[in-house]
Structure 1
Amino acid sequence: MSGSWNDFNDAKQNTNIIPKGTLAKVRLTIRPGGFDDPAQGWTGGYATRGTTGSVYLSGEFTVLEGPYARRKIFTLIGLYSPKGPDWANMGRSLIRGMLNSARGISDKDLSAQAQSARRISSFADLDGLEFVAKIDVGTDTNGDEKNEVRAAVTPDHKEYAAIMGAAGTVAPPQPQTFAPQSSMPQPGVRPSWAQ
């Protein structure tokens, strides 16, 4: 039962906000900004240059599953700010987390395979990336609440596997080589050496 037409005390605040700390599988779509700087490796028109001279990726994160499926979260991924390195470092940290999450790598994994999985050849490698995001709440330019993606959840997190599901396998699975069936001990059959 909703309140009377002239009493708005029980009207809900912005119910579009996904609660802070929610974990969800998302797909990143980069909205191209048309700004390239080949010296920085920024090609393909993915980056956007803002009016202040900052450069970023305009990220659209679509929730893929769960109660918030199909919801979109818009977050800028910092690449450069004339004010200093903090914004770019935050952006780099987020991208590292996204790659770890998408490719099923622990952040602590320093193996050659893990290091290779954290490299991209271009921003195109990030476009369409699916990973587990930790959803945050920030404010937009008007001071209103809005959801943001500031962190990705890696396999170290206990809920990662359940949220990522079958897609949480690393890169293309290597073809399995199965030993011939005869060498496998059959259940209930004692191997010849044990008879």
Structure 2
Amino acid sequence: MGSWNDFNDAQSNTNLIPKGTLAKVRLTIRPGGFDDAAQGWTGGYATRGSTGAVYLNGEFTVTEGQYARRKIFTLIGLYSPKGPDWANMGRSLVRGMLNSARGISDKDQSPQAQSARRISGLKDLDGIEFLARIDVGTDASGDDKNEIRSAVTPDHRDYAQNMGLTPSFAGQPAAAAVQQTAAAPQPSAGVPGRPSWAQ
């Protein structure tokens, strides 16, 4: 234990989750009261900032593991008067969140996968649980802070383990995964006691 006169060897109080950590999170949207029905922004979920930018004020809570109950605050861009980049990053993040939450490979272009990437409104994102890759950015004061910029989809080798799924389902087309989950596995003649899909 260090001296109570010299604090050079005391740990820094950064309290950051390490960059690159994978964690299952739940998104809570902090409503900003801004609606634009023409854009599909209804229900008061969007926030309009003083610059004219529109975003979702996201509070992501880690649901399990070493960092359970930790909160990460990240804005999801919907519109910026400076150009399309921020909105495109927001759309990309939401696509990843939907793929991750609904168990869809990013490469899956089946009708079922395309349907699963559609939402009826921003309310569908409030409460969504997915696997996130934790990043480190800077806040307005220039201090380090955790952010969420990307979601981890079934294409990633650690997806199934972190989402608590059976590894054999990860990365399959959405229809196959749903079909296999719904059907009780039956042992086959090939290997006694093993379901046919596991051989």
- Give the TM-score normalised by the residue count of structure 2: 0.84
* Cα deviation code 1:123-173 (max 9, x no counterpart): 111111110000000010111110000000000000000001149886995
* Cα deviation code 1:27-75 (max 9, x no counterpart): 1111111100001000000000011110000000000111000000000
Matched residue SS, 1:93: helix
Which residue number corresponds to residue 160 of structure 2?
161
CA distance in 1, matches of 2:40, 2:79: 13
Q: How many residues are aligned here?
A: 184
Q: Aligned pair in 2 of structure 1 residues 187, 23: CA closer, same or farther (>3 Å)?
A: closer
CA distance in 2, matches of 1:35, 1:91: 17
Q: Aligned pair in 2 of structure 1 residues 176, 47: CA closer, same or farther (>3 Å)?
A: same
CA distance in 2, matches of 1:162, 1:76: 28
Which residue number corresponds to residue 73 of structure 2?
74
CA distance in 2, matches of 1:3, 1:139: 32
Counterpart among 175, 180, 183 of residue 176 in structure 1: 183
* Cα deviation code 1:84-136 (max 9, x no counterpart): 10000000000000000000011111111111111101011111111000000
Matched residue SS, 2:73: strand
Deviation of the 1:16 alpha carbon? 1.3
CA distance in 2, matches of 1:51, 1:39: 21
CA distance in 2, matches of 1:177, 1:13: 52
Q: For the pair shown, which has the larger CA radius of gyration, 1 or 2?
A: 1
Which residue number corresponds to residue 13 of structure 1?
12
Deviation of the 1:177 alpha carbon? 7.7
Alignment of 1:18-57 (within 5 A): 18-57=17-56
Identity %: 73
8 Å Cα contact 1:3/1:11 also seen in 2? no
8 Å Cα contact 1:33/1:45 also seen in 2? yes
* Cα deviation code 1:161-193 (max 9, x no counterpart): 0001149886995543889x9xx75988xxxxx
Deviation of the 1:2 alpha carbon? 3.0
CA distance in 2, matches of 1:77, 1:166: 27
CA distance in 1, matches of 2:118, 2:63: 25
Q: Aligned pair in 2 of structure 1 residues 15, 3: CA closer, same or farther (>3 Å)?
A: farther
- Give the TM-score normalised by the residue count of structure 1: 0.86
Which residue number corresponds to residue 2 of structure 2?
2
Which residue number corresponds to residue 92 of structure 1?
91
Q: Aligned pair in 2 of structure 1 residues 178, 24: CA closer, same or farther (>3 Å)?
A: closer
Deviation of the 1:12 alpha carbon? 2.1
Unaligned runs of at least 5 residues, structure 1: 189-195
Q: Which amino acid aligns with 1:24?
A: A
